[in-house]
Amino acid sequence: MSVAPAQHPHERVEDPNYFRDVLLNMEWIRNRDERRVRFSAVCTAGVPDYQTEYPEGHRLSCFPRCYDGSTHRPIGSRAADAGEAGPLTEAYTWDAVLSLLKRALDRKHGRAEAA
């Protein structure tokens, strides 16, 4: 059975350290269950930019933090800058990013992905 091709740039990231750094940047949100990240749907450098945020409806959801995907440093500091990364994916939870990290580690170490 063949694996479906990746639809978004973050699904093609091979380096587990990328996802580790995304998780580190998600830690500014106090409650782990409220941490969210959206990845840029366009990518020119091989590692998409992203923004961390509270879930929709949270009182602080209008204050996302945008990061450069290659350096993991902040891009701008205003909510208006959030659109600089281009179109964004749906929001991923902390556990979903952990799954992306595990998948990248499995690929790196040549382990087959579970079906």
Q: What is the pTM of this model?
A: 0.82
What pLDDT shows up at residue 85? 52
The answer to whether the CB of 103 falls within 8 A of the CB of 109 is: no
Rounded to 10°, the helix 94-108/16-26 angle is 160
State the pLDDT at residue 110. 83
Assign 115 a pLDDT band (cuts: 50, 70, 90). Answer: very low
Q: Which residues contact 51 (CB under 8 A, 6 or more apart)?
A: 37, 38, 64, 65, 66, 67, 82, 85, 88
pLDDT tens by residue, 62-106:
899 999 999 999 997 544 444 455 799 999 999 999 999 999 999
Q: Considering the chain, what is the average pLDDT of its residues?
A: 85
User: What is the predicted pLDDT for the residue at 79?
Assistant: 47
